[in-house]
Amino acid sequence: MDCKLTGYEFRTLQVTLNPGEKFYAEKGTLIYLESGIDKSLQTTSSSLTSIFKSKLSGESIFIIEYENKSSQPKKLSFASKAGILPIKLEGERFLCRRGTFIATTNKVELGLGFSIKGAMGGVSFLQKIEGTATVFIDSIGAPITLKLAPSETVEVDEKHLLALQGISENQISANWSLSNVLHGEGISLLQITGPGIVHISPTALM
């Protein structure tokens, strides 16, 4: 399998599948596929509880599986809203902003991450992705990536939070302060404690 980011600011993902290989993507992201690639509808999780949570949160409970059934390499392409950020997962938990997931090289568990503490800072529902794969998500501009050591803390404006890698919901809390408002920020910033990786968008996300 070969995955290549193309276009202005990497807004297009081009995938070449060898015979028998599979690829998974969110509904509505496909640009084109070559003859010989079959597609089928799959659920986003093997757990009924996770599927139910996704349904409640408004996330799709289905994902499209693409498989090269031919004897030759075949291409297909996917689009993003702004730009594409590839993240390599090695079995760890990954949390991203809802609606940013585009595609993945392997089938992964897609569910709902919920943080009561995060809700106090403006972010409660995040899309949870678990598995071993390269995951592609929407990103506006080149994201800022911060690697946090154990107990190291960073404060992030929730409108700029893109994704959290190796970080669980209980590592997220809200830092309330009137001084935030005086400095032009919201009344609360998200406080994220390591270990783990934080991906931040330089442009505010809706």
**Residue range 147-162, pLDDT digits in tens:** 999 999 999 888 888 8
- Domain for residue 40, yes or no? yes
pLDDT at residue 129 is higher than 60: yes
Domain ranges, residue 76: 2-141
- Domain for residue 69, yes or no? yes
* CATH number for the domain harbouring residue 137: 3.60.160.10
pLDDT band for 37, please (50, 70, 90 cuts): very high
130 beta partners: 93, 109
- Domain for residue 112, yes or no? yes
pLDDT band for 128, please (50, 70, 90 cuts): confident
8-state DSSP, 18? P
Residue 180: per-residue pLDDT: 47
Q: Give me the chain's average pLDDT, please.
A: 81
pLDDT band for 118, please (50, 70, 90 cuts): very low
Residue 97: per-residue pLDDT: 84
Token code pair at residue 203: 């442009």
- Domain for residue 147, yes or no? no
> DSSP per residue over 147-206, as a string?
EEPTT-EEEE-GGGEEEEES--GGGEEEEE-HHHHHTTS-SEEEEEESSEEEEE-SS---
Count up the domains in the chain and report the number.
1
Selected residue with higher pLDDT from 37 and 46? 37
Scanning the structure block, which residue is given the tokens 């015979």? Answer: 19
Selected residue with higher pLDDT from 142 and 13? 13
Opening angle at CA 46, ends 171 and 167, nearest 5 = 15
59-68, 102-111, 173-182: the lowest-pLDDT one: 173-182
Tell me the C-alpha distance between 109 and 93, whole Å.
Answer: 10
pLDDT band for 120, please (50, 70, 90 cuts): very low
- Domain for residue 200, yes or no? no
Residue 123: per-residue pLDDT: 52
- Domain for residue 30, yes or no? yes
User: pTM for this structure?
Assistant: 0.81
pLDDT at residue 48 is higher than 80: no
pLDDT at residue 31 is higher than 70: yes
- Domain for residue 78, yes or no? yes
